[in-house]
Amino acid sequence: MAPPDDGSDLPDDPVIRAGEYALGVLEGEELAAAQREAIAGGDFAAAVAWWQQKFAALAEEAGSLVPSTGVWNAIALRLPSRATDEVPTPAHPAEPSGIGGWKLLAALATAAAIAAAVTLFVATPGGPPRPVEPVTREAGPQIIAQLQSEDGESRIASRIDPDTGRLNLSIAGLTPEDEARSAELWVIPEGGAPRSLGLIPGDGEVTRSLSAEEASLLIEGATLAVTHEDRAGAPHEAPTPPILLAGPLSRL
């Protein structure tokens, strides 16, 4: 009997894999591999974007439906009351050090934008494999960020449980060569200045409680970032470039 046809006789084509990924049908190892490729950018990411465009055109055939009048009001209530709240001026008027604060913010914003572009795909269809899902479903909404360097060697998966006020980090590949230095975690509120969350190990799992102030910063839309800093003087006032990892926090 012939083996069942699973299309595996088709030549391996990254564009087709990008299509499977954009469509959201991949699972498990295939999904993880595609995510790594998409995060790395290049032709694969471009192909994913190409498919997203095509599928978005498909979405348009869904037709239109005018929302109830209350919907806009509900949205308006969730917006900050004054537009100036959102204008990206540093929260601390005094520049903490010689580091160009705005430059750093710009760099972070770019990094966040890149990460966001990736997230758009990653958060899509298949989403990351979610072995923890049954737990999180019961525990209420979780805030997560998955940060990864281009080569995939440095990674942080972070999860914040607003109910218990706990931060969980799973870290890999962030140990600096210089022993006098360490990875330091930062949160950058939307439009605000970076705040240190302290030094973190270069590899391993960490869980700790958050102060009320920290918890108030670790919300959807804020950016999480990692730099290498001198161990001395931590937590620092401001991060030192380069930003090793950065990406947005999103609600799971």
Partner 1 sequence: MAQGTDEAAARRQQLVLALERVATGDRDALRQVYEMTSAKLLGIIVRILPDREQAEDVLQDVYFKVWRRAGRYDASLGSPISWLAVIARNAAVDEARRNGRTPASEDGELENIVDDAQLPDDFLCEAEMHAEVRRCLDELEENQRRSIRMAFFGGLTHSQLAEALAVPLGTMKSWIRRGLANLKGCLGHGTA
Binding footprint of partner 1 on the chain (CB under 8 A): 4-8, 10, 13, 15-16, 19-20, 23-27, 47, 49-50, 52-68, 71-72, 74-76, 78-80, 83-87, 109, 112-113, 116-117, 120, 123-127, 137, 190-191, 220-221
Residue 226 phi/psi, 5° resolution?
-130, 135
In the complex with partner 1, which residue's Cβ is closer, 137 or 231? 137
Asked if 40 and 152 count as a contact pair (C-beta separation under 8 A), the reply is: yes
In the complex with partner 1, which residue's Cβ is closer, 111 or 197? 111
Q: How far is the CB of 103 from partner 1 (least distance, A)?
A: 17
In the complex with partner 1, which residue's Cβ is closer, 1 or 83? 83
**Three-class DSSP category at 17:** helix
Asked if 95 and 102 count as a contact pair (C-beta separation under 8 A), the reply is: no
Pairwise CA distance, residues 180 & 3, whole Å? 58
Q: How far is the CB of 33 from partner 1 (least distance, A)?
A: 14
Q: How far is the CB of 121 from partner 1 (least distance, A)?
A: 9
User: Nearest to residue 194, comparing CAs of 240, 149, 147?
Assistant: 240
Q: Tokens 């937590």 — which residue? A: 235
In the complex with partner 1, which residue's Cβ is closer, 33 or 71? 71
User: Nearest to residue 191, comparing CAs of 102, 80, 88, 82?
Assistant: 88
Q: How far is the CB of 174 from partner 1 (least distance, A)?
A: 25
Calculate the CA dihedral of residues 130, 187, 174, 43 and round it to 10 degrees.
60
In the complex with partner 1, which residue's Cβ is closer, 11 or 233? 11
Eight-state DSSP code of residue 1: -
Pairwise CA distance, residues 184 & 201, whole Å? 8
In the complex with partner 1, which residue's Cβ is closer, 132 or 206? 132
Q: How far is the CB of 67 from partner 1 (least distance, A)?
A: 5
Q: How far is the CB of 162 from partner 1 (least distance, A)?
A: 16
Q: Which two tokens stand for residue 168?
A: 């969980």
